[in-house]
Structure 1
């Protein structure tokens, strides 16, 4: 299944949600995320991708807002249904991008959920892309810190992609087969750990 679309609501398979990309069209980050999501799909999960275009529709998070937009409601409701997440961010100035952080800030809406507050006990795969190695490491570290704050479990392996060396194409591939395998491992790990957390029933 193409990671950009979600299976029909009648599909009872557990859901892996991908969050990531950049504003302005499909990016290396979003393409990397799609590869990881497809790998989770191959393990029997349905998938939903919130890419750059989706995150661009989310207003800046206002914790005191009386109403949420349809896009905000859809995003939060989808994460609530998820058994696992994969988060991908470009490395901007040594950390995650604003649009990815804004989407994650919106998960404050789940703080008082009785079934699962935030990302409690949820496996979360991480991907960072940057034009050089230095920003990939600090971006992965920032993502791990955020996931811990949201009570989630970052999976053991995180994919750090140097886009100066690896190029992605419109067909869903990448110039380095090793990078593709790393991204697939991210997807396989979230699929493997979701049942252990009791979230894939």
Structure 2
């Protein structure tokens, strides 16, 4: 049985500062996912101010919202700033909450495509962060999309309105987002 409903894509990302470059690039990716036919949910700085993850503590408030959105998602897009060559502690903590789904029928990021975006002030940090994100997604049983987007904000700045000035980066974001939506559609139809 197939359905005409659009896939649900969850965007998780940014830094501790609302409106960070990572958060704004994530919003561009979610806009591209919507143009590809998805319904999107954005969880940025305000939604990810979570207590340090403790396996024995019950998730509540914003943490519970994150866990529930992870459960509902057909695909995920993660955007992390590059902090000292890897994902920020802020983002790692948010991703650690996926552990709350460990006993679900579809645990962690199982059966979901995950688009990875790394945003940093130089190529070394952007590429290192991208590698870390892909490893985390694999550890959480997700499928990283073939296209991941490493962004050096020194070469691809955003203007004050949040518009990316790099055609190449925009194309990469659009391709990555369309892969998340395409794989989400395939996975959703396979499960029905």
TM-score, scaled relative to structure 1: 0.89
Instruction: Give the C-alpha shift of residue 167 in structure 1.
Output: 1.2
Q: 1:143-158 counterparts in 2 under 5 A?
A: 143-158=133-148
1:82 is matched with 73
Asked if 2 retains the 8 angstrom alpha-carbon contact of 1:29 and 1:89, the reply is yes
Structure 2 residue 64 is the aligned partner of structure 1 residue 73? yes
- Residue 15, structure 1, aligned to residue 25, structure 2: no
d(CA) in 1 for partners of 2:179, 2:6:
17
Distance in 2 between the 1:69 and 1:170 partners?
A: 35
Which residue is 2:100 aligned to?
A: 109
Instruction: Report the counterpart of residue 44 of structure 2 in structure 1.
Output: 51
By how many angstroms is 1:91 displaced?
0.8
Question: In 2, Cα distance between the equivalents of 1:49 and 1:16?
Answer: 9
Moved more, 102-111 or 12-21: 12-21
Deviations 1:97-130 (A, max 9, x none): 011100100010000002x011111100010011
Q: CA, structure 1 residues 199+104, in 2 after alignment: closer, same or farther (shift >3 Å)?
A: farther
Give the conservation status (yes or no) of the 8 Å contact 2:7–2:188.
no
Aligned to 1:38: 31
Computed over aligned residues only, the root mean square deviation of the Cα atoms, in angstroms, reads 1.6
| Structure 1 segments unaligned to the other structure (5+ residues) | 1-11
Which residue, 13, 21, 33 being the options, matches 1:28?
21
Match of 1:4 in 2: none
**Structure 2 unaligned regions, length at least 5:** none
Aligned residues: 188
Q: Quick one: distance in 2 between partners of 1:41 and 1:170?
A: 23
Aligned partner of 2:176 in structure 1 is: 186
